C-alpha cells in the first residue's frame, strides 16, 4: 500500500467541535470570504490539489473501493475539476447583483437581488464517491463565499485521511476545515448551529439530519437515492441499451446513487435484452470479473453481507443469468443479472446499491409507468425508446429527480441541469450555478431616493389618493 493510501490523519477530539464551529463563524464574520478574490483563490486551490495530488487521490480511491483508474478520473476528480472550472469561469457574473423590474407605484426606485453567502455550512459526504461527493459541494460553498466544515465518510478512510491531510495545503484552512470521525462525531456536529447542511447519503440518515437541523431552523439539502428504474420498450436499440445499462449499473460495483436499480422491459423484447445484457457483462469484464482491473469491490463486510442475502434465492428472487457469485474475503460480488424476479422479492424492496440487476417484464410502457408511480419517487429514471411520443409520455407521467433518455446518469454531467431528488430521493439540487445558489441567500433590495416622496401613500387618505392608488396598482 502506498504512503498516501495508508496515511491516517489525527482527528480532532469530539469536545473541540463547538470551538471549531465557533472559529469558522468568527472567521466568516470578518468578511474575508465575501471577497471575490478569496473565492477565486479557493477554486484555484482545488484545481491545484487535483493537478498535484492526482496519483494520491487515485490510490486512496483504489484502497477504499478498488476503484479502477478510469472510473476514478471520470466520476471522481475529473468531475470535480470540471465543476470547479465552470464555477471559476462564471463566478464574477454569478456574484453580480441582479437588477429586476420595479412596479410603477414604487417609482422612482431601483430593485436588486444581492447574492449573500449564508455563513458557516456543514457538508457531510458519503463513502461511495468519497472525493467527488465531498468536493463538489465545497466548490459551490466557497464560490458563494461561505466557510465550510467537511465531515467525510469514515467508511472510506483513505480518502477521508487524504482530504484531511492535503486540503489545508490548498485552501484557506481558517475557513475550510475537515473533521474526520464516525457516528459520534456526526452526532456532536448536528448539535451545533450551521447556516446550511448539505448531506449526501441514505434516506434513513437523511431523516436524522433533517430532525437535527429543525432544532436550529437550519436549511438542508438532502441528496439521497432510491430505486432508479430503466424502461426498455420494443423500439429500443437493444445492443446499445444493454451496453449503457451494464456500464451504468456496474460502474463502482453498483455503489452509485443513480445506478439503474432494476429494468422494466416490454415482453416481446425481454429475451433479446437479457441476451445482450449477459453478453455485454462478458465483453466488459471477461469470463471471470473478479480478475478484471475494471471492476471494483464492495465497501465493507456489512454491505457485502447485505448484498449476499439478496442472492440467496429467497422466494421471488429470480434466477441469475449472469454472476450470482460472492466472495466475502475479497468483498467481491460478481456483476449479476436476475430474471423472473417478483415485484415483491426482497431485492425489489430497497435500493440495491450493489452489482445486482433485476429484470422484470411488463406488457407495455403504460404498465411500466404504473409500476414506477406506485413506488417512491426515484432519483433518476432511464428510458430506452426510439419513439418520441413515448419519450414525452414517460417524462410527463412520472416523477423523478432527473431523466436520461437512451442513456444512464449522464444528465448529472451537464452543469446547467439541476441534480437532485424529489420526495424520498431527496430535496434541493446542485451542480453548476445551482451549487452557487444552494449556499447563497438571494437578498431583496429596494433603493428609493429621498428627494421624491409621493404623498398619496400616506394618511390622511382621501378619495383622490385612493384613485391614484387604483390607477397605479
Active site residues: 223, 257
The number of residues making up the chain comes to 473
Q: Which of 307, 381, 312 is nearest to 351 (CA)?
A: 307
Q: Which three cell numbers stand for residue 428?
A: 434541493
Please name the residues in contact with 40: beta carbons below 8 A apart, sequence gap of 6 or more: 88, 91
**Number of neighbouring beta carbons within 10 Å of residue 439:** 28
**Number of neighbouring beta carbons within 10 Å of residue 168:** 15
Three-state SS string over the chain comes to: CCHHHHCCCCCCCHHHHHHHHHHHHHHHHCCHHHCHHHHHHHHHHHHHHHHHCHHHHHHHHHHHHCCCHHHHHHHHHHHHHHHHHHHHHHHHHHHCCEEECCCHHHCCCEEEEEEEECCEEEEECCCCCCCHHHHHHHHHHHHCCCEEEEECCCCCHHHHHHHHHHHHHHCCCCCEEECCCCHHHHHHHCCCCCCEEEEECCHHHHHHHHHHHHCCCCCEEEECCCCEEEEECCCCCHHHHHHHHHHHHHHHHHCCCCCEEEEEEEHHHHHHHHHHHHHHHHHHHCCCHHHCCCCCCCCCHHHHHHHHHCCCCCCCCCEEEECCCEEHHHCEECCEEEECCCCCCHHHCCCCCCCEEEEEEECCHHHHHHHHHCCCCCCEEEEECCCHHHHHHHHHHCCCCEEEECCCCHHHHCCCCCEECCHHHEECEECCHHHHHHCEEEEEEEECCCCCCCHHHCCCCCHHHHHHHHHHC
Find out whether 262 and 312 touch, Cβ atoms under 8 Å.
no
- For 447, phi then psi, to 5°, come to -110, 125
Amino acid at each position: 500500500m502506498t504512503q498516501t493510501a495508508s496515511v491516517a490523519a489525527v482527528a480532532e477530539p469530539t469536545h473541540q467541535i463547538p470551538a471549531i464551529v465557533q472559529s469558522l463563524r468568527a472567521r466568516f464574520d470578518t468578511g474575508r470570504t465575501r471577497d471575490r478574490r478569496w473565492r477565486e483563490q479557493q477554486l484555484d486551490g482545488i484545481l491545484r490539489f487535483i493537478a498535484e495530488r492526482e496519483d494520491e487521490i487515485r490510490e486512496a480511491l483504489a484502497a477504499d473501493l478498488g476503484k479502477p483508474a478510469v472510473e476514478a478520473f471520470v466520476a471522481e476528480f475529473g468531475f470535480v475539476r470540471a465543476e470547479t472550472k465552470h464555477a471559476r469561469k462564471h463566478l464574477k457574473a454569478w456574484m453580480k447583483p441582479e437588477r429586476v423590474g420595479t412596479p410603477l407605484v414604487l417609482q422612482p426606485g431601483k430593485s436588486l437581488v444581492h447574492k449573500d453567502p449564508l455563513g458557516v455550512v456543514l457538508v457531510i459526504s458519503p463513502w461511495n464517491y468519497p472525493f467527488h461527493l465531498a468536493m463538489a459541494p465545497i466548490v459551490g460553498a466557497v464560490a458563494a463565499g461561505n466557510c465550510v466544515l467537511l465531515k467525510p465518510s469514515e467508511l472510506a478512510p483513505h480518502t477521508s485521511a487524504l482530504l484531511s491531510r492535503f486540503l489545508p495545503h490548498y485552501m484557506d484552512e481558517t475557513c475550510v476545515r475537515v473533521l474526520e470521525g464516525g457516528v459520534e462525531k456526526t452526532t456532536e456536529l448536528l448539535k451545533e448551529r450551521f447556516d446550511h447542511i448539505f448531506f449526501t447519503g441514505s434516506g434513513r440518515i437523511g431523516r436524522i439530519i433533517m430532525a437535527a437541523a429543525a432544532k436550529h431552523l437550519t436549511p438542508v439539502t438532502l441528496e439521497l437515492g432510491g430505486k432508479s428504474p430503466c424502461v426498455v420498450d420494443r423500439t429500443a436499440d437493444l445492443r446499445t441499451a444493454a451496453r449503457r445499462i451494464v456500464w451504468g449499473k456496474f460502474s463502482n460495483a453498483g455503489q452509485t446513487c443513480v445506478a439503474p436499480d432494476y429494468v422494466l422491459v416490454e415482453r416481446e423484447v425481454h429475451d433479446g435484452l437479457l441476451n445482450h445484457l449477459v453478453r455485454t457483462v462478458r465483453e466488459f469484464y471477461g469470463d471471470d470479473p473478479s480478475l478484471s482491473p475494471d471492476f471494483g469491490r464492495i465497501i465493507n463486510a456489512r454491505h457485502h453481507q447485505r448484498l449476499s442475502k439478496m442472492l440467496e434465492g429467497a422466494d421471488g428472487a429470480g434466477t441469475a443469468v449472469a454472476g450470482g457469485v460472492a466472495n466475502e474475503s475479497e468483498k467481491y460480488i460478481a456483476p449479476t443479472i436476475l430474471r423472473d424476479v417478483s415485484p415483491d422479492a426482497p431485492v425489489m424492496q430497497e435500493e440495491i446499491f450493489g452489482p445486482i440487476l433485476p429484470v422484470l417484464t411488463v406488457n407495455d410502457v403504460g404498465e411500466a409507468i404504473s409500476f414506477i408511480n406506485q413506488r417512491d419517487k426515484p432519483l433518476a429514471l432511464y428510458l430506452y425508446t426510439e419513439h418520441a411520443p413515448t419519450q414525452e409520455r414517460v417524462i410527463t407521467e412520472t416523477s423523478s429527480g432527473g431523466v436520461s433518455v437512451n442513456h444512464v446518469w449522464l444528465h448529472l454531467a451537464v452543469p446547467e441541469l439541476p441534480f437532485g431528488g424529489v420526495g424520498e430521493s431527496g430535496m434541493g439540487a446542485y451542480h453548476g450555478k445551482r451549487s452557487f445558489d444552494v449556499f447563497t441567500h438571494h437578498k431583496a433590495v429596494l433603493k428609493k431616493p429621498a428627494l421624491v416622496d409621493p404623498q398619496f401613500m400616506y394618511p390622511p387618505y382621501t378619495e383622490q389618493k385612493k384613485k391614484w392608488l387604483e390607477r397605479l396598482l
